[in-house]
Amino acid sequence: MSVGDSQLRPLAGDDPARVAARVALAELRREIRGRFARAPVAARRTALPEDWERRFESLRERLGTLGMRERSGAVDEFGMDAESLSALRPLLDFLFDRYWRVAVGGIEALPERGPFLFVANAAGILPYDALMIAHAVERARGERPRFAVADWLITLPFVSPRLARLGGVRACPENALRLLAAGHSVAVFPEGAKGAAKTYRDRYRLARFGRGGVVRLAIERGVPVVPIGVVGAEEAHPILFKASAPARAFGLPFVPVTPTFPWLGPLGALPLPAQWVLRFGEPISYADLGRDAARDALLVSRLTEELRARIQSLVDAGLRARESVWSLAPGNS
Amino acid sequence: MSTSEPGVIAILGLDSFVGHELALRLAERSPAIRTVGLDVRRPYMLDERVRFHPVDLTDPRADASLAEILAQERVEAVLHAAFRTDPTPDLELDHELDTIGSLHVMNACAAAKVHRLVVASSTMLYGPHPDNPNYLSEEHPLRGHPDAHSVRDRIEMERLLGDWRIGHPDVEVSVLRACWPIGPTVANRVVQYFSLPVVPLPIGYDPLLQLVHEQDLLDAFERALLTSRPGVWNVVGSGVLPLSVLFRLARKRTIPLPSALLDRLSYYPSQGQTGDPPAAFFDYLRYLWVADGQRGWDAFGEPVYSTKEAWISFVSSRRMRRYR
């Protein structure tokens, strides 16, 4: 009481009980402050690193979010995340330079200004081809194209969120329109599921190109189409045949049987180190046709077939550039 | 069509979040607006500026009694927010209220010559589907979720409303499809789920989610009631965030579980609480159902809060995050 008395002079007419309470409160506050006052720095020397608290916290947090370790909080409106991309870039670099030794041709001929609609042959179960195209374009031009992901991949847990963080969107006209309108280039694979499900026997023979959606989109948006022939992706997962009985059990469109999968288990899902070639063709502009041409079904179908033939010839050129599945012919680098 | 502010506004579902908050906002706004509140029960806290009438929309003769009240009060604009906030195990009653009750509201509005009808809907009606485009426009078909009965009822409500609109071109109908509202005060099943101490969620999925801040939602409803904005609008916050980032921002612990296990574990709790199997909710955390808000922002103004800011406002109001 003695300490409080000197500081809190009771006002005239104040209720004595309230004065007593105020004094007790002041004393309690002082005691709490005293108890939590920081000791001098010298007295707190420990063997732990200075930021151990922060480190421990971040470790705990990482353990807590083990199942979904996307790194940053900032994604763009399509779910691409620059930070998880840069975290994966060393792996992509390794795949591009060392593992598949991707030989890129024709990309320097692209005009300065985008956006473009990249159209390529689809191959393989996982969209490695899309990732490699995006990587090649990003290296040459600094901007990363987005890529379309087939419907059935979108339903796959673990794979689909990861692809979205890397710039994948579901393959549908609404998404492509929105991306192009926002100024992003888009890589599409009009063969769709038919391309991914190609067996080794049918490799590099392009399947039908959807229903002409790509050409219609290019005409409507006035965006040039860049055909790309991808060689190598179809040997990364050579599908010997498709098993349908286990596919029905798991509700999948098909279960691929490759020389390594499912025999080696998850290890068999690793792609084979084939030699890759990416051939970029000259951009095709449909600007002189006018936007109404998109409604001319016969014209769209003819242009689609022409586009398919262009990509087929690029693929054939890419195949000629290789000596074998595993190496380039001499003189091609 | 009237372009001036309506003098008398009726709020159906006065005890709902939107109804209650909007009644207060309108009362604060100007004394020229008279607010009539309707609900099945008298709200526990009722502002004295709001005139209350009890109406039970599940009653087969609700249309006549509602029309009588609307005509007697000379109501010019109606806000229809008398929906189940959350689905209940009583599937039939939910249907009676959400679908048939809305039909009563439409018919009563027609009989009482109401000029404007604003209906609270949800972007949940688009449904979570892996084959959704990243942004759903207002024209996208409402596919809902096969297990979510409440969503099904409200899709039927919107279909009935669409038909009704054709027959009553003199009534301005605005349908506001809002995504999950979040903020310091709004309370519903989704907020409850987000507030769990440890949050179970399906492993391997990390969809982009969008949220709207409660104040932005109320702004949109207020504008829809006071100005002429006929049509269907998505009311959403700007920007999207992956589910995992939401929980990381809140420093929340999660248990990601395989879908089969999660659905099995939460089957009985979910059936007991909502009358639906758990997929009816968890699919909204698996697949995309993000709506394109551009048209709504053009009509009702840019939202003050982005999805992230709305989430932070919720998180900090609940003191989820430990600051040091």
The 10s digit of each residue's pLDDT in B37-67 is 999 999 988 888 999 999 999 999 999 999 9
Q: How many domains does chain B have?
A: 1
The CATH number given to whatever domain includes residue B95 is 3.40.50.720
- Residue A42 placed within a domain: no
Residues A92 and A13 in one domain: no
| B33, part of any domain | yes
Domains of chain A: total: 2
Q: How do residues B125-163 score in pLDDT, each as one tens digit? A: 999 998 899 999 999 999 999 999 999 999 999 999 999
Q: A19 and A74, same structural domain? A: no
Cβ distance B205 to A157 less than 8 Å, yes or no, reads yes
Indicate whether A277 pLDDT > 60.
yes
The residues of A whose Cβ lies within 8 A of any Cβ of B are 61, 64-65, 67-68, 70, 72-73, 75, 77-79, 81, 151, 154-155, 157-158, 160-161, 164-165, 169-170, 172, 174-175, 178
Q: Is B295 within a domain? A: yes
pLDDT, tens digit, for every residue of A81-114? 888 888 889 999 999 999 989 999 888 888 888 7
Which pLDDT value is given to residue B1?
Answer: 45
Tell me the average pLDDT across A183-187.
Answer: 93
In a domain, A247, yes or no: no
What's the confidence (pLDDT) of residue A9? 53
Please give the ipTM for the structure prediction. 0.85
Query: Do A11 and A107 belong together in one domain?
Result: no
Q: What is the CA radius of gyration of chain A?
A: 31
Same domain, A92 and A204: yes
CB contacts of A170 in chain B (<8 Å) are 130-134, 288
Which residues of A are less than 8 Å from B130 in CB distance? 151, 154-155, 160, 170
Residue span of the structural domain in which B48 resides: 8-181+212-237+291-303
Which residues contact residue B276 at a Cβ distance below 8 angstroms, ignoring those fewer than 6 apart? B87, B147, B148, B149, B150, B270
Higher pLDDT among residues A203 and B105, named by residue? B105
Q: What percentage of chain B has pLDDT greater than the value 90? A: 77
Report the SS3 class of residue A291.
Answer: helix
Categorize the per-residue pLDDT at A5 as very low, low, confident or very high, splitting at 50, 70 and 90: very low
**Does the beta-carbon distance from B134 to A170 stay under 8 Å?**
yes
Question: Would you say residue A198 has pLDDT above 90?
Answer: no
Q: Give the domain extent around A302.
A: 66-237+272-328
Task: Establish if B172 belongs to a structural domain.
Answer: yes
- The closest CB to that of A151, out of B131, B137, B259, belongs to B131
pLDDT of B321 reads: 59
Reported as a pLDDT band with limits 50, 70 and 90, residue A11 is: low
Answer whether residue A243 is part of any domain: no
Q: Kindly state whether residues A85 and A190 are assigned to the same domain.
A: yes
Strands in A146-149's sheet, in edge-to-edge order, are A103-105, A277-280, A225-231, A117-120, A186-188, A146-149, A168-170
A252, part of any domain: no
Instruction: Tell me which chain A residue has its CA closest to the CA of residue B239.
Output: A77
pLDDT digits (tens, 9 = 90+) for B106-128: 999 999 999 999 999 999 999 99
At A200-244, the pLDDT tens digits run: 777 888 888 878 889 999 999 889 999 999 998 888 777 777 777
Of A153-167, B13-27, B178-192, B270-284, the range with the lowest mean pLDDT is A153-167
pTM, entire model: 0.82
Q: How would residue B214 be classed by pLDDT, with cut points 50, 70 and 90?
A: very high
Give the least confident one: A266-270, B48-52, B189-193: A266-270
Confidence of residue A268 (pLDDT cuts 50, 70, 90): low
Distance CA(B87)–CA(B189), nearest Å, equals 9
Q: What is the CATH number of the domain that holds A294?
A: 3.40.1130
Q: Tell me the C-alpha distance between A73 and A289, whole Å.
A: 44
Question: Would A6 be classed as within a structural domain?
Answer: yes
Q: Say if residue A305's pLDDT is above 70.
A: yes
Contact B135 A154 (CB under 8 A): no
Cis bond upstream, residue A266 (ω within 30): no
Calculated CA dihedral for residues A54, A56, A60, A62, nearest 10 degrees: 70
Q: What is the pLDDT of residue B175?
A: 97
Same domain, A32 and A70: no
